[in-house]
Structure formats: structure tokens, C-alpha cells
Amino acid sequence: MIKGQFPLERFKSVRTPFYYYDLELLDRTLDALQAALAPTPEYRVHYAVKANFNPVILSRIAARGLGADCVSGGEVKAALQAGFKASDIVFAGVGKSDEEMILGLEAGIARFNVESEAELRVLNDLALERGKRAPVSFRVNPDIGAHTHAGITTGLAENKFGINYEQLIPVIRTALELPGIEYKGLHFHIGSQILDMSDFVALCNRVNSLTEELRSQGLPVGDLNMGGGLGINYRHPNHLPIADFEGWLGTFRRFLHTEPGQLVHFEPGRSIVAPCGSLISRVLYVKEGTVKRFAIIDGSMTELVRPAMYHAYHRVENISSDGPEILYDVVGPVCESSDVFAREEALSECRRGDFIAIRSAGAYGEAMASQYNCHRLPEALY
Ligand code: LLP
């Protein structure tokens, strides 16, 4: 099998498990994204900070002049520290605290993506107390199911996210009357790791009919934020390392109706950072069970929870050996039977001390690490 290229000599002096980020691949990914954006100056990207808030990664993305999509006051602070301009920061989330809204107001962020009327009224009061007007978009629940894991679809009416379609018009009317609120636009997000472009076509159709309805009622539409969600190829990180930004943005160019000059925002997270990160571990033991052969590694669900949490697939490679392949279950040391990275995966024969790379782990990997079992948080190498 073709494997990724890793600087093994440098790995030898680092304590495992750790994240290794290929910054050159991150740069090429950002080049591809910016090339795909270039033909449509009205299309703007806010990187979804939740996918990876490692300061080195964040500042590299900020240096490209992209905006940031944040979901907490902590993320707003991290984005500002990394060099994102406040005027390029949007702040989403179904449960923003007063403290977080005040932070956004004081910093002068570009947008609050508001998810309920109750939140709108609190934000109005907080803005007025400070002599400000809060720029607001409404997150609309488009009631569209994306073909992805149930745990990461967000656009169905039964999900907690966004304002339901039927309730939107009264909420916009309220916003237009509140003196501390400046109505700016609409926000959508249907889910994550979406590879079937027809899901985005369905979103465009929904948004087109909604904007027509608003216009027919004499209401403003403002700008549109179509969220993130573009998937990557977890099976073939070496052959297909860069997400299909062309295909994704091209779908919106073809199917989303906009007025001249109307801005359209996107919030990709995973597609920007997933491919450049790998979790690097060492083999501790090879255990020959009666029905299985286990490669027990020092990395676990505490560094990368996606396989345990969503049954997500990540390709696993023995990067210390080119020898013949054998099937292994690759497992971590945590006392949970879900602490499994791969089942019956073909790996070059493993020996104690071999480096194991768990690929495409740059998104929702380090960002979701925990200290369960008193593990320390993983370090990063670039
Ligand atoms: N915008 C909003 C409003 C979101 O909720 C999300 C992700 C994004 C943008 C970025 O989506 P992306 O381009 O990364 O798909 N922890 C899960 C994924 C959770 C995604 C949550 N929302 C995982 O590891 O698969």
C-alpha cells in the first residue's frame, strides 16, 4: 500500500502520542480553496474554528485573510489572538451566555448568528446597555437531512439548531423593530462530512424558495451563510488529500440564486484541516488473541475520539515498516471497549516501538481531546 511520507527521524525524540501537522499540505489545501473562491468575489469563507483551534494552525489560516466562525467566547478569543480581524468573525451557537455576547459586542465582531427569539431579545438588551447595535443573522433550520452520521446532521426540524422555517418571518419582523439589533442576513448549516453534492443542491433549493418568499412579503434577505459540511476522503488520504472545493462551491454557483453584490458566506472546518493532521502513536504490544490479533498502541480515544464516538473511519498505517501486511485490530489503552481505532485493518507487520499514523485527524481530533484516565493532552509537531 502507498503510505504517507513522515519525518520519522524527528518523531524519535518526541513523546507519543502526539499530533503531527503537515503544514505544507495545509498550505496547498488553502491554495486550492482560494483558487476555487477566486471567480466569485461575493463568496467569503469563515474557517470553523471548532475543527481545530491549535494556535499554529489558526494563525496560518488567519494569515490567508479568511474569516473565523466561532461557537464560544473562548473561540472568539482564540481567533482574535491568532490574528483574525474582529470584523471577520461570526459567532454561532444555540446557547450563548451573556458573558460571551458581551465579549462579541465589545470586540465588534461581524455577526451574531442567532438561533431563537429569546436569544435575540437578550442580545438586544445587552447591546442597548452598551450603546451598540448587534449585527444579526438568523440561523434557519432548513429541515433537510444530510447523508452523513446521525450524530452530525444538524438541519432537521427535530434538531436543536436554528429557527424553524414557519417561525422565521415573525422573528425577522421583531428584529427589524428592536433598536439594539441590526438585521443582516440568514444562516444555514445542514451537517458535516457531506460528500453527496445533492444535499447541497437541496439546501440551495430551500434557500431560493425562502428568499423569494421573504422578498414577496417586502422583507429584506441580507447576506447568506451556507455553513460548512464539505466532506473529505478518509479512505484514501494519500491519493485524494485535498477536498473538492471546486465541486462544492460550483454547486452553489449553479444552484443558489443571488442578487448582484449579495454576499455568500461559507464555514468549512473539516475540509480545511482534517487532511493535514495525523495522530502518531507507538505500538506497545502485539497481542495474539484466540480470534483476533491486536496491535495495542499508546494513542487512544482521549487524543482522537471520533472512532469511539461516531464509529468514524480513519486510515491506520504502520509507518515504520514496509513489510508484508497482516490484519490487526488497532486499539488504545483506555478502559472502554469502544477505544478501538480499526478492526481487521491490513498493516505492515507490527513490532513493539513501531510508529503508527492515524490519518486525516486534523479536524475534530486535537480539538476534542480529553484527559479521561488522567491522560495528558497531546502535544503537536509541525
Ligand atoms: N458551521 C456550523 C454552524 C457548524 O455547526 C459546523 C460544524 C461547521 C460550520 C463546520 O462544519 P465542517 O465543515 O467541519 O463539516 N465533531 C464532529 C463534527 C461536528 C461538526 C459540528 N458542526 C466530527 O468529528 O465529525
pLDDT in tens, the chain (382 residues): 678 889 999 999 999 999 999 999 999 999 999 999 999 999 999 999 999 999 999 999 999 999 999 999 999 999 999 999 999 999 999 999 999 999 999 999 999 999 999 999 999 999 999 999 999 999 998 887 666 555 555 666 667 788 988 899 999 999 999 999 999 999 999 999 999 999 999 999 999 999 999 999 999 999 999 999 999 999 999 999 999 999 999 999 999 999 999 999 999 999 999 999 999 999 999 999 899 999 999 999 999 999 999 999 999 999 999 999 999 999 999 999 999 999 999 999 999 999 999 999 999 999 999 999 999 999 999 9
| Ligand 1 centre distance from Cα of residue 209 (Å) | 25
Which of 51, 132, 137 lies closest to 91 in space, CA to CA?
Answer: 137
Query: Is residue 121 located within the same domain as residue 198?
Result: yes
Nearest-atom number in ligand 1 for the CA of 364 is 24
Distance (Å) from CA 107 to ligand 1 centroid:
24
> Sign (positive/negative) of CA torsion 203, 208, 209, 210?
positive
Beta bridge partners, 47, equal 68
* Residue 17 within a domain: no
Q: What angle (nearest 5°) sits at the alpha carbon of residue 340, between those of residues 23 and 234?
A: 40
Q: Which of 199, 178, 201, 177 is nearest to 190 (CA)?
A: 199
Whether residue 378 is preceded by a cis peptide bond, meaning omega within 30 degrees of 0, is no
To which H or E segment does residue 106 belong? Answer: helix 98-107
User: Is 36 touching ligand 1 by the criterion CB < 6 Å?
Assistant: no
d(CA 280, CA 6): 10
Instruction: Yes or no: say if 138 and 171 are a contact pair by the CB < 8 Å rule.
Output: yes
Amino acid at 360: S
Report the separation in Å between the CA atom of 173 and the middle of ligand 1, taken as the mean of its atom positions: 29
Q: Is the CB of 187 under 6 A from ligand 1?
A: no
For residue 83, the domain's CATH number is: 3.20.20.10
Q: Is 51 in the pocket of ligand 1 (CB under 6 A)?
A: yes
8 in a domain, yes or no? no
Identify whether residues 120 and 198 lie together within a single domain: yes
Instruction: Return the half-sphere exposure (C-beta side, CA atoms, 13 A cut-off) of residue 70.
Output: 31
Residue 132 resides in a domain:
yes
The structure's pTM equals: 0.96
At which of 247, 272, 297 does a domain end? 272
